[in-house]
Chains A and B, each alone.
Chain A
């Protein structure tokens, strides 16, 4: 590896069109080493196409892609050695046993025969697949299949891992396991995952790229995006106030847990008119400032992890 820190993934002006339809339209981004980056977008936004181009499976119409400094077009072999890829829907051969499959994939990925056995044990341990190592893949449940796919993509310890919707179709518990697994790769490997569910990406990713109709519409850390998209909101709450507790002069500022019926509450901020947001203002049992009509700065609440 050269001395100046090289980005793990570098994409510039990537365009891909199929028979008149432009699936990816001038996407550019850079991913530094060790980062977990999320691709977010609705179905058909061009996520899968971009990922397929990154792995060298599909050729791009124009633009350039390089992985660890190797161009996908001129050095496809070097790129394929450095990328672990899990396609959408995680296709696996149904007739093979888990350990057989990993062995076959390891040989294809040019892991030396001597190291392969211990490496397979490691990834089975990492993905909690030890119990099913001799089971036939076709008979595994979806969660196990997904983990076999992940085990396969990290098998050769590639510097870059690309996973297309790794949590699709899993139950919440399995999503947690997969999420932890991906988080455990942080720092060691560069991970690019895609999803169309925001919280999914938010939990695991250092940075998010939002794409729609083949273009990047926003990018940044989840917190930045939140601030940028939702903005800072201030809510002003007015109304007659029925005290349940005597006002405390020694502690100015908002007092929580005031019980009692608050009268009509107004939200001057138009954003706050939607019923969900109204919950923030307190709804019926409003937490209002001591001293009647007042201003309260409120930030939109992030969903709990």
Chain B
């Protein structure tokens, strides 16, 4: 792991000079800003029974599906397309270090983007001066959910990037895989054909993988280690597959 930090700092720098990062940042912040003002308008018209923070984080899937591909599609696909992976892997660096360094850089940036949305809550508390609108519980729970689920989402993006030489293909793959994970669980959890007695183990497995359920638990303040384990194990598996994919492509290059 000697070179992990070298690659990490290099990757962060590369992400910071890349236009797609800024496109992602601007799109993300303006979108989340619109959501946030929309939520506040609803609250100003009629009283609601959920805190604005928990409604705000319910929209997490929207930026995830569009921002994660923009952050990760480049990382391994571009190296392979340019051939710089050859110069990279002929230095005393392991594939694991390369993949982990790129993953960590994308994850850090993902966190920075989300952290900047805390400005919305600050502005709300500063100017509205209504303490009941700012409920620290769901806000903390929401950010914790973003932090933990981010591990897995970014790892999926890195994996998608390791599969193709073409950034666009990697990005599309990433969108499809993220959508399958986020909405697949939601759809299956409410699918009537899974209600049968014989399928109950399957139903249980689906409930376990339902990301929207995890979100609800987190914003309610329930930190279930099984859910954390779901994301951590998903991350580890995706990263192992990314490393294997990079190495397998070398063998057949």
**Which residues of A are found within 8 Å of B18, using beta-carbon distances?**
95
B213 at the binding interface (Cβ < 8 Å): no
A28 to B143, CA, bound (A): 60
B83 CB within 8 Å of chain A: yes
CA of A109 to CA of B2 in the docked complex: distance in angstroms? 11
Contact A108 B6 (CB under 8 A): yes
CB-CB contacts below 8 Å: B1-25 with A: 2-3, 6-7, 10, 13-14, 17-18
Report how far A83 CA is from B92 CA in the complex, Å. Answer: 10
Q: Hey, what's the 0/1 contact readout for B54-86 against A, CB within 8 Å counting as 1?
A: 000000000000000000000000000011101
Q: Does A56 contact B (CB under 8 A)?
A: yes
Within B34-61, the residues touching A (CB, 8 Å) are none
The contact of A91 among B83, B91, B93, B251, by CB within 8 Å, is B83
CB of A120, distance to nearest CB on chain B (Å): 15
Is A107 among interface residues, defined by CB-CB distance under 8 A? yes
Nearest B residue to A162 via CB reads B90
Chain A: interface size category: 20 to 34
Interface string of A228-249 (1 = CB under 8 A from B): 0000000000000000000000
Interface centre among B92, B93, B252 (most CB of A within 10 A): B92
75-95 of chain A: CB within 8 A of chain B: 77, 80-81, 83, 85-87, 89, 91-95
| Count of chain B residues with a beta carbon within 8 Å of a chain A beta carbon | 24
Q: Does B253 contact A (CB under 8 A)?
A: yes
Q: Assuming the A-B contacts A92-B84, A93-B82, A93-B84, are A55 and B90 also in contact, with contact meaning beta carbons closer than 8 angstroms in the complex?
A: yes
Nearest to B7 among chain A residues (CB) is A108
Q: Which residue in B83, B92, B252, B253 is a CB contact (below 8 Å) of A108?
A: B92
**A35 interface residue per 8 A CB criterion:** no
State the Cβ distance, B94 to closest chain A Cβ, in Å: 8
Q: Any chain A CB within 8 A of the CB of B205?
A: no
* Contact (Cβ within 8 A) A109 B251: no
Most chain B C-beta atoms within 10 Å of own C-beta, residue among A80, A86, A94: A80
What DSSP secondary structure best describes chain B's contact surface? helix
Q: Which of A19, A59, A109 contacts B92 (CB 8 A)?
A: A109
B89 within 8 A of A: yes
Chain A positions within 8 Å of B7 at CB level: 108
Which B residues touch A92, using CB under 8 A?
82, 84
Interchain CA distance A18-B250 in the complex, whole Å = 12
Task: Name the residue among A52, A77, A81, A91 with the largest chain B CB count within 10 angstroms.
Answer: A91
A51 to chain B, nearest CB (A): 10
A105 at the interface (CB under 8 A from B): yes
CB <8 Å contact, B90 and A80: yes
Measured CB to CB, the closest approach of chain A to B16, in angstroms, equals 10
Assuming the contacts A91-B83, A91-B84, A95-B18, asked whether A57 and B91 have C-beta atoms less than 8 A apart, the reply is no
Assuming A93-B14, A93-B82, is B91 touching A18 (CB within 8 A)? Answer: no
Asked if B251 and A59 sit within 8 Å, CB to CB, the answer is yes
Chain B residues proximal to chain A, CB less than 8 Å: 2-3, 6-7, 10, 13-14, 17-18, 82-84, 86-93, 250-253
22 pairs, A vs B, C-beta closer than 8 Å: A18-B252, A19-B252, A55-B90, A57-B90, A57-B250, A58-B250, A58-B251, A80-B90, A80-B92, A85-B86, A85-B90, A86-B87, A87-B83, A87-B86, A92-B84, A93-B84, A95-B17, A96-B14, A108-B7, A108-B93, A110-B92, A152-B87
Q: Besides the contacts A57-B89, A81-B92, what 5 more A-B pairs have beta carbons closer than 8 Å?
A: A58-B253, A85-B87, A91-B83, A93-B84, A108-B91
